[in-house]
Amino acid sequence: MNAVIDIAPAPMQQGCGDAPVLRERGQREVFCGLAGIVWLHRKIQDAFFLVVGSRTCAHLLQSAAGVMIFAEPRFATAIIDDRDLAGLADANAELDRVVTRLLERRPDIKMLFLVGSCPSEVIKLDLSRAAERLSRSFSPRVRILSYTGSGIDTTFTQGEDTCLAALVPELPASDERALMVVGAVADIVEDQFRRVFDGLGVGPVHFFPAHRAGEMPPVGPGTRFVLAQPFLADTARALELRGAKRLPAPFPFGAEGTTLWLQAIAREFQVEATKFVSVVGPRRERAARALARHRVLLEGRKVFFFPDSQLEVPLARFLAREMGMVPVEVGTPYLHRQLVAPELALLPAGTQLSEGQDLERQLDRCRAARPDIVVCGLGLANPLESEGLTTKWSIELVFTPVHGFDQAADLAELFTRPLARRMKLVA
């Protein structure tokens, strides 16, 4: 058995493994974790997300996810009003009433998430106890779980992490040796990865979360899991507590990132090098060819990341190594060193890393650097555009399928498009 996979990363000068990190704690400009409901409700198709929050939370969800007119909705907000906040009403009794009405009316719901928000935390409504209490009434027909999406605790991608971490203790136990891909990826990406795993002879493969509440993957000491998203630290810890082992790897963004991600899996499952090259090689070459035309526009340009999605480090690695861009500052809400260690090793030496935020100071650094493109949240994009900077909304990088070989050029295009538009405007 030959477990040596001979598609190696291109050499680059020493990376950022031990690079100093600028840690800032000041005013932040980020979305809250409720945003995760937008993609999670599409992924787990018989789940319902009940936000226990305010009108602001309801507005955020409606504007982020759009209003569903023809389908039965699969998320809603139970509004905490002034009487609840003043302690005049029994919020637990109200919540039980709302949940009972919802589940009686909607037999299609098999999993209900009670999602905490800033207001539910302010009045200290214990949603985990509420979930236990309600489970006693509705189990086994409906599983009821809770997690927080509160803006006090979470940035926008963390909502997925808190949701999946809440699901892990519910996963069935198994000793089966299997691969688990962790993180909600687009269905098209899941299908493509399944074809690659089939070609490599790696299996069984489970994706977490599954499409249905009753099909969540088993976990145990035989489980080898690989993260598809870098923001799943709590989920990874919870899986490790169940005996699963994480395969460290760069994330599957770009031709190189996807190759290295698959390589880590192939090594663990002892795929022969010749098979790996024959299955992965042509896909990688196709992706590299598709990326070449984007590199022409991006090469040598400076990119500045404000902390938002936690995708910043892998994306900076992709843009630096495959697109020839210069990451001036890579800001991230949290730097989970262990999870992104293989990414940091590939970042160009000297890249400024920052964790957390002190908004005004970071804006000053950004203005001074005059980057060609700024990756930031919605709230910063318009003001920066009005100052003549070109921006990319980080939320688009989460909502668009960008994983894997077939999406590599789409990922690059998310950066070339705003640059091309700016060039037209100034021409």
Q: Give helix 158-167 / helix 36-43 axis angle, nearest 10°.
A: 40
Strand ranges inside 335-407, DSSP E: 352-357, 373-376, 391-393
Cα–Cα distance, 121 to 150 (Å, whole number): 8
Q: Residue 305 corresponds to which tokens in the numbers above?
A: 């990341």
* Among 371, 392, 372, CA closest to 381: 392
Site for ligand SF4 contains 135 (CB under 6 A): no
Residue choice 56, 62, 128, 400 for contact with ligand SF4 (CB under 6 A): 56
131 binds ligand SF4 (CB under 6 A): no
Pick the stretch among 149-157, 190-198, 343-351, 368-376 that binds ligand SF4 (CB under 6 A): 149-157
146 binds ligand SF4, rule: CB under 6 A: no
Min separation Cβ 331 and ligand SF4, Å = 20
Is residue 151 within the footprint of ligand SF4 (CB under 6 A)?
Answer: yes
Closest contact distance (angstroms) between CB of 94 and ligand SF4 is 18
Q: How far is the CB of 79 from ligand SF4 (least distance, A)?
A: 11
Distance of alpha carbon 330 from alpha carbon 351, whole angstroms:
7
Tell me: does residue 53 bind ligand SF4 (CB under 6 A). Answer: yes
Residue 54 or 357: which CB sits closer to ligand SF4?
A: 54
Q: Is 53 helix (H, G, I), strand (E, B) or coil?
A: strand
Place of tokens 């990756």: 375
DSSP type of residue 174: -
Beta bridge partners of 357: 25
Number of residues that bind ligand SF4 (CB under 6 A): 12
Q: How far apart are CA 315 and CA 343, in angstroms?
A: 9
Q: Is 395 in the site for ligand SF4 (CB under 6 A)?
A: no
How far apart are the C-alpha atoms of 124 and 116, rounded to whole Å? Answer: 10
> Both tokens of residue 233?
């630290």
Q: Are 202 and 225 in contact (CB under 8 A)?
A: no
Q: Establish if 62 lies at the interface with ligand SF4 (CB under 6 A).
A: no
The one-letter amino acid code at 423 reads: M
Contact stretch for ligand SF4 (CB under 6 A) within 143-151, 201-209, 210-218, 356-364: 143-151
377 interacts with ligand SF4 by CB under 6 A: no
Residue closer to ligand SF4 by CB (options 56, 400) is 56
Contact pick of 113, 117, 164, 318 for ligand SF4 (by CB under 6 A) = 117
Q: Per CB under 6 A, does 60 bind ligand SF4?
A: yes
CB–CB of 350/258 below 8 Å?
Answer: no
Give binding residues for [4Fe-4S] cluster as ranges. 32, 57, 118
Q: Which is nearer to ligand SF4, 32 or 287 (CB)?
A: 32
Tokens of 37: 């409901």
Give the contacts of 313 (CB within 8 A, at least 6 positions apart). 230, 330, 332, 335, 340, 343, 344, 347, 353
Residue span binding ligand SF4 (CB under 6 A) among the ranges 53-61, 131-139, 280-288, 299-307? 53-61
Q: How far is the CB of 379 from ligand SF4 (least distance, A)?
A: 12
Q: Which of 211, 216, 225 is nearest to 177 (CA)?
A: 225
Residue 43: CA atoms inside 13 Å, Cβ hemisphere, count? 23
User: Do 231 and 311 meet the contact criterion of CB atoms below 8 Å apart?
Assistant: yes
Confirm or reject binding of residue 34 to ligand SF4 (CB under 6 A).
yes
Which residue is nearest to ligand SF4, using beta carbons? 151
**Should residue 155 be labelled a site residue for ligand SF4 when binding is judged by CB under 6 A?**
no
Q: Which stretch binds ligand SF4 (CB under 6 A): 51-59, 212-220, 359-367, 415-423?
A: 51-59
Stretch that binds ligand SF4, among 50-58, 272-280, 287-295, 323-331 (CB under 6 A): 50-58
Q: Determine which residue in the list 118, 227, 264, 323 makes contact with ligand SF4, applying CB under 6 A.
A: 118
3 state DSSP class of 170: helix
CB 206 within 8 Å of CB 180: yes
**Nearest-CA neighbor of 410 among 308, 298, 314, 294?**
294
Q: Please report whether residue 36 would count as binding ligand SF4 according to CB under 6 A.
A: no
Q: Does 15 bind ligand SF4 (CB under 6 A)?
A: no
> What is the smallest separation between the CB atom of 327 and ligand SF4, expressed in angstroms?
29
CB 64, min distance to ligand SF4, A: 10
Distance CA 307, CA 113 (A): 27
Kindly tell me which residue out of 50, 52, 57, 239 binds ligand SF4, with binding defined by CB under 6 A. 57
Query: Which residue among 146, 150, 155, 357 contacts ligand SF4 (CB under 6 A)?
Result: 150
Footprint of ligand SF4 (CB under 6 A):
32, 34, 53-54, 56-57, 60, 117-118, 149-151
